[in-house]
Structures are given as structure tokens and as C-alpha cells.
Amino acid sequence: MAIEHIHTYLVHPGKGSENAPQIGGANVPLNGQLFNLLGGIYAKSDVECDIEISFNQSEQGTQNNPCRDLIVAYLSGPTIPRGRHIADRLELATTHRSGLGLLFLIAGTEGRQHKVVISRFPANSAILAEEDQRQLSVAFLERVFMRSATAYKAAVYKDSSLQSGFWMGRAIDKQLNSGVIQLSNYWIADFLASDFRTTSAAGTRRLAVALRDAAKRSGNITVKSEIAAAVTLAGSLRGRTLSVREFGEQFGLSNASKEAIANEIKAPGLAEERFPFDFEEFSKQIAYRSVELDSGGILSAASSDFDRVFHREPSDAAPEMVRFSTEGRIVSETLGKQR
């Protein structure tokens, strides 16, 4: 860790506001308790920021991005005025709903690489309690900035080239975990002018193909059933961001099922990449779910509808036997050479 500069700015909501407040800014000394806190954030940022993002092309389709330009300009000589341009940009993207925030820019070098961590602490209120031998006194505190478990946001960029690099970074956005992407569009989309490096279609396709192949290749009937059940419930993931690994956790899959899915992913890192789930793409890749019984019967329906179309119940004949039933009008019947 070699932090060389820390600058901080108080950023008010300024989106849609004609008179956005002027932003000041201050140096943070490279020692003391605050430095220790920020040093920890800087050191952990590579792991903590778990979403790979990349800057968008310009609206004209050229290799220009206004936020990247500001970050590169800041890193080429970190000063309060250069950092203020980044704070100004955040102010213009911040809504009243997101509220007041304290922005930290932590710049340093790691070997040949320049590194910057951009971290926003949302404002909160708190109660200060002080106790001495005779009494307890409490006071209400406004403008307390906390590393909130639900609204903390940060981004880290690391590259050796200020000229050609800094197209990709990593971000953390605790609000994304709430499942409502719109809440925090302002951090990745508006402020950072970025998007997920893995597109929703590419990430979802990777997940769907892994699930499909895992269910197909596994010889374990429990694994097949668990995966099929999770696929049926995947509609509930609309609007969420997740990774292949998180999909397994979301639906409480067994270790055997998670392992079967992981085996279908080429590299472990790919299972960790997060992307916005795209139900349309998912349905395209896993359109149908089929169940084959040892009686020779095959049931098939759209994956998302299977459990609604077929009612499943235990059979009295034997503990492992099941009975499926469904009701409807016959719309077609086919004969074929293959199943």
C-alpha cells in the first residue's frame, strides 16, 4: 500500500438543481485514525469492489468518456481542484433521495500501477453518548458519515498507463443488493458513466448454459431436480444482479448441485463475475423443462410454467414414486422418430 494523496469533498444532491452548492475540498493527512480507516478501504478495495465495470463509449460512439477523463486527469497530478471536478460530477448525478455524501479520493501507486479509490460515505444521523463517573450525557449528531451497510458505494481503478488504460474498474454498490437497480443507477450509470463489464445477456447466458449442462451431465437425480426447481423459480431474479455462484446460494442448492454447476464454468473467476439478470435471455437458453419417468412417460413444459402446468404428488404405490397430473384442451399431438 502506498497512498500518496487523499482528498475529501462534501457533496450535496445537485441533480436537476440550477444552483448546486459550490464544493470545497480538503486534504486528509497521511496519518492518524482517519488515515487508518481510509487505508483499510484502499487496501481492501480490490476484493471488496466485486462488480467489474467498464466506462461507456461516448454518445457519438467514440473512445471518450467524461468520467474516465476526470479520473485520468486527477491521477496525472492529484490536487484538490482536479479532484473537485470529480466531486462536481458526483453532485450533478446525486438526487435528493440519495442525499448528502462525503466523497474520498484515495490515490497511490502499487509497483508500476496508478491506483485510485473513489469512496462515498452517505450522511446519517447518530446519537453520541458520553459517560463519566457521575452521569451519562447524550447528544444528537447530524451529518455523521458512515460506511453504511446498505448504501455505501466505492470504485477502484488500477492501471499502469494513464494514456491507454483506465477503461475498466471495479465497483461496490450496496444498494444493488437490494434488488432494485434503479435506486443506485446514479453511481455506476450516471456518475461513473459505466456499465457492467459482463453484459446482462452474456452473463445470463453463461449461467443458463451452465445450469442446462450441469443438469444434463449429472448422474445424480437430486442434482437434476434441484437445478430444475431453481430454473423454475428464476423469474424472481428479474432486476437483480448476481453471479453464477450467487445463483446457487440464492436458491439454497446443495453442495453437490453447486459443484455440478461450477464444473460447467471454465474458470473459477467467471463464476464470481456479477451481472444484471436477464430473464428473457435465460428463458431463451432454458426454454423447456422435461421430466422422464421410468414408466416411459415424458412431461415437458416451458421451464417457468412447469410447476404450474403439472401438479406433482407422492404416489401410494411406493415411496419413491410420484404422480403428475395436468388439465387442458388438446392443441396438438405429434409422432416422431426421436424423443
Partner 1 sequence: MTELKAVYQQRYETVLRPVASALEKQLHEYLEGAERIDRIAARAKSIDRFLAKSQKIENGVPKYVEPLRQIQDQIGVRIITFYISDIDNVAKVVQRYYRPIETHALVPESESEFGYFGLHYVLHVPTDVIEPSMDREMVPEFFELQIKTLFQHAWAEAGHDLGYKPGETPLSSDAKRRLAFASAQAWGADRIFDDLFRERAESGAISSGGLGGDEARGRDEESGEASVSFAKGWGN
The residues of the shown chain that bind partner 1, judged by CB under 8 A, are 54-55, 57, 60-63, 161, 163-165, 167-168, 195, 197-199, 201-202, 205-206, 266-270, 273
Nearer to partner 1, 205 or 212 (CB): 205
Computed on alpha carbons and rounded to an integer, the radius of gyration of the chain in Å comes to 26
Report DSSP state, residue 130: E
The least distance separating partner 1 from the CB of residue 108, rounded to whole angstroms, comes to 20
- Euclidean distance between CA atoms 91 and 121, whole angstroms: 13
Indicate if the alpha-carbon torsion angle 210, 215, 220, 222 is positive or negative. Answer: positive
Phi first, then psi: give them for residue 316, nearest 5 degrees.
-75, -20
Is the CB of residue 80 less than 8 Å from the CB of residue 25? Answer: yes
Nearer to partner 1, 163 or 338 (CB): 163
The least distance separating partner 1 from the CB of residue 61, rounded to whole angstroms, comes to 4
The least distance separating partner 1 from the CB of residue 73, rounded to whole angstroms, comes to 18
The least distance separating partner 1 from the CB of residue 31, rounded to whole angstroms, comes to 34
Nearer to partner 1, 91 or 246 (CB): 246
Q: Tell me the three cell numbers of residue 294.
A: 421410468
Indicate if the alpha-carbon torsion angle 194, 149, 14, 95 is positive or negative. Answer: positive
Nearer to partner 1, 57 or 315 (CB): 57
Q: Is 165 helix (H, G, I), strand (E, B) or coil?
A: coil
Strands (E), 146-258: 153-159, 168-173, 194-196, 241-242
The least distance separating partner 1 from the CB of residue 276, rounded to whole angstroms, comes to 13
Is the CB of residue 162 less than 8 Å from the CB of residue 72? Answer: yes
Nearer to partner 1, 147 or 205 (CB): 205
Q: Tell me the three cell numbers of residue 3.
A: 497512498
Nearer to partner 1, 50 or 195 (CB): 195
- Euclidean distance between CA atoms 81 and 321, whole angstroms: 73
Closest CA to 113 of 57, 45, 18: 45
- Euclidean distance between CA atoms 92 and 155, whole angstroms: 18
The least distance separating partner 1 from the CB of residue 224, rounded to whole angstroms, comes to 24
The least distance separating partner 1 from the CB of residue 156, rounded to whole angstroms, comes to 17
Nearer to partner 1, 112 or 329 (CB): 112
Nearer to partner 1, 97 or 266 (CB): 266
Is the CB of residue 193 less than 8 Å from the CB of residue 50? Answer: no
Report DSSP state, residue 191: I
Nearer to partner 1, 189 or 201 (CB): 201
The least distance separating partner 1 from the CB of residue 266, rounded to whole angstroms, comes to 7
Return left, alpha or beta for 243; rule: phi > 0 is left, psi -120 to 50 is alpha, else beta. beta
The least distance separating partner 1 from the CB of residue 62, rounded to whole angstroms, comes to 6
Is the CB of residue 98 less than 8 Å from the CB of residue 17? Answer: no
